[in-house]
Amino acid sequence: MATIFPFFEWCEKTALFRLISNHESFFPALETIHLFGLVLLLGTTVILCLRLLGVIMAKQPVPELAGELAKYTASGLALMLSSGALMFVATAVRNYSNTSFWVKMIFLAAALIFHFAYFRKVIRMEDLGMEDSARGRRHGKLAAWGALVLWFGVALSGRSIGFLG
């Protein structure tokens, strides 16, 4: 049976691994950037989801709100993914046997697919006036709850990486 463990070992033989592991403050700085990105992403996602659920800003059109938040959401995602990739390189072999790491990767893959394949589609449906229909409201609620569960799943499982194996 083939394994991806050699890739994890290779990561820890790179110059990037040596750079991160040889500087005491590099990894904590990456964690801080990673958390800042997560806060941006989760914050904007929560605002949009609460709007889709009809809890806040009922008069604010969803696509307009999404447009106003888009650059913050994208920045948060970019910071989170780039710093996460660097943190992975620095801890690859240790993460290979960490169940929480794999749970986070599953949540992350699902959240990204959901976001780009469904959540954004619903935002566009809202743009077409579907929000006023029962179908549009159903899709909006499904998109909101799906996004909240998946992104908070990423956050919670990521937080447990350092504590659970």
Indicate the angle between helix axes 26-52 and 62-96, nearest 10 degrees. 140
Residue 74 domain-assigned?
yes
* pLDDT number for residue 148: 97
Residue 62 lies in a domain: yes
Question: Assign residue 162 a region: left if phi > 0, alpha if psi is -120 to 50, beta otherwise?
Answer: alpha
Summarize pLDDT for 123-145 with one digit per residue, the tens: 877 665 555 677 778 899 999 99
Given this model, what pLDDT does residue 164 score?
65
Residue 106: inside a domain:
yes
Total domains, the chain: 1
| Domain region containing 112 | 5-13+25-160
- Answer whether residue 99 is part of any domain: yes
In a domain, 165, yes or no: no
- pLDDT on residue 163: 79
95 within a domain of the structure (yes/no): yes
Model's pTM, two decimal places?
Answer: 0.89
User: What pLDDT shows up at residue 129?
Assistant: 59
113 within a domain of the structure (yes/no): yes
**Cα distance between residue 105 and residue 98, in whole Å:** 11
Task: Tell me whether residue 80 is in a domain.
Answer: yes
For the chain, residues with pLDDT lower than 70 are 1-2, 126-132, 164-165
Predicted confidence at residue 124, as pLDDT, reads: 78
Residue 125 pLDDT: 78
